[in-house]
Amino acid sequence: MPKILIADDIQVNRKLLTAILKNQKLDYDLIEAVDGADALAKATSHAPDIILLDVMMPRMNGFQVCKALKENKKTQFIPVIMITALSNLRDRVKGLDAGADDFLSKPIRREELMARLKSLLKMRELHSQLEESHRTVQRQKEEIQKKNDLLSEILNRYLSEEVSAQIISNPDKYLKLGGESRKITTLFADIRGFTAFSNVRSPTEVVSALNQVFDRLTRVVFAYKGTLDKFLGDGMMVFYGAPISYKDDAFRALKTASALQLAFGDLQKQLNDPLFSKLGLGVGVNTGDAVVGNIGSEHTRMDYTVIADSVNIASRLESIAQKGEIIISQSTYDETSNRVIAERMPPKKIKGIIDSLTLYHIVQILD
C-alpha cells in the first residue's frame, strides 16, 4: 500500500486532497502534516512513497522542506510534488533548485493529480526495486568476500599470498577435481639426524623444534613462490610449476634449496642447542613431467599434489643427500646450468630406478 504524505497548513486543502485520493478506490495510506516542520518530521519517521507538499506554510515553507528532504540520505529519493498557487517561472526554478520532482498548480485538477501521482509512484517503485537489487548484490559480494577470505586463509598455509590471490581470481580453473600434465620441479628436504635428536628429547620439545623449523622453511618456500605439498615427519615436499608456472621454476627451486640451508643454519645459531646444532638438511631436486591437480573427493577432501616418477626421483635424491647438501638431477641441471656451479657426481644407481642417474652436487647458486 503506497504511503502518501499530504503537507498543507490549511485543513480544507488537506481534506480536498484526501477526498480526491479516497474517491479513486485505491489503497493509499494517507498521512497529514499541518506545517513545514511537521512535514519534515513525518517524512523522516514514516518514510512515505510520495509527498504532496504545499509551498506557503508556516515554520518552514515548502522550498525549505524540500531542500532539507533532499539533503537527508534517508529521504532524498522520496518524490516530491510541490503544490502552489505561484505560477511564475522564478518560483518553479526555485522549486527545482530545492529538488522538487514535479509541480501542481492550484486549483487542483483530479486527472492531473492522479496522472502525476501514478508516474512518480511508478518511478518510486522502480527505485525501490533497484535499491533492493543493490542490497542483494551487496550481500552476495559480502558472502563471496567472506568465502574468499576463508579460502585465502587456507591457501596461504600452502602457497604464497601472490599465488593464492591468483587462484582465488579463477577458482573454476585451479580448484576443480582432476589433473593435468605439466613440467614440474619437485624439491624434498629432510632433517638429517632428527631421529636421534627426538630419542633424547621430550615429545613437547620435539614438536616445538619441528614447528620452529617448518615455520622458517615455509617462509622461504613462499618467498620463492613454491607450492608446499606436505610435511613428511621431519621433512617436506615442495613443487614448482603449478598451480602457477613461471619460466624459471627450476631455478627458483634451487634458490629455495640454498635459502633453506641458510635458514636452517640461522635457526641453529639462534637456538644455541648442542644437540640441534648437530642436525642438518639434505635436499633433493628433480625436474620432469608430472600429473598435477586435486586428488580426492569434491564433497569431503581434496589434496592438491603431483604424481609421477619424476617426483619419486626427487625423493630418492633427497634420501642420499648428506646434511647441508643439495643434489639435483640431470634434467634440473639442464634447466639451470648457466646459473649454478655444480659438481658432477659419479653415475649412481637409485632404488626403484632401472638406469643409473647422472647427478650433481650444488656448489653455488649464481644470482
The 10s digit of each residue's pLDDT in 39-97 is 999 999 999 999 999 988 998 998 999 999 999 988 988 999 988 876 667 777 788 88
The reply to whether 235 and 292 lie within a common domain is yes
Q: What is the pLDDT of residue 322?
A: 94
Shared-domain flag, residues 305 and 218: yes
Using DSSP's 3-state secondary structure scheme, residue 92 falls into: helix
Is 166 within a domain?
A: no
- Would residue 140 count as lying in a domain? no
Residue 217 lies in a domain: yes
Residues 244 and 325 in one domain: yes
If pLDDT is split at 50, 70 and 90, which confidence band does 295 have?
confident
80-84 vs 102-105, strand pairing mode = parallel
* Any domain includes 255: yes
Q: Is the bond into 346 cis (omega within 30 degrees of 0)?
A: no
- Residue 290's pLDDT is 92
Concatenating the DSSP letter of every residue in 188-206 gives EEEEETHHHHHHTS-HHHH
Q: What's the pTM?
A: 0.60
Is 343 found in the same domain as 212? yes
Q: Identify the bridge partners of residue 4 per DSSP, sorted by sequence position.
A: 30, 50
Residue that terminates a domain, selected from 77, 105, 132: 132
Among candidate residues 102, 132, 162, the one where a domain is terminated: 132
Tens of pLDDT along 97-147? 888 888 888 888 888 888 888 888 888 888 888 888 888 888 888 887 787
**How does residue 34 score in pLDDT terms, banded at 50, 70 and 90?**
very high
Residue 158 lies in a domain: no
Q: Is residue 343, in this structure, part of any structural domain at all?
A: yes
Is the pLDDT at 12 greater than 80? The verdict is yes
pLDDT surpasses 60 at 276: yes
Instruction: Count CB-CB contacts under 10 A for residue 348.
Output: 14
Whether residue 24 has pLDDT greater than 80: no
| 29-38, 152-161, 180-189, range with the lowest pLDDT | 152-161
How does DSSP assign 37-79, residue by residue? HHHHHHHHHH--SEEEEESS-SSS-HHHHHHHHHHSTTTTTS-
Structure-block grid coordinates of residue 188: 624434498
Domain match, 230 and 360 both: yes
CA angle in degrees (0–180, nearest 5) for 221-227-229: 105
Residues 17, 43 contacting (CB under 8 angstroms): no
Q: DSSP state, 322?
A: P
Host domain of residue 254: 174-365
- Give residue 199's pLDDT: 92
CA neighbor of 256 nearest in space, from 286, 288, 283: 283
Domain boundary among 132, 148, 183: 132
pLDDT tens per residue across span 81-92: 988 876 667 777
Q: Give the span between the Cα atoms of 147 and 134, in whole angstroms.
A: 20
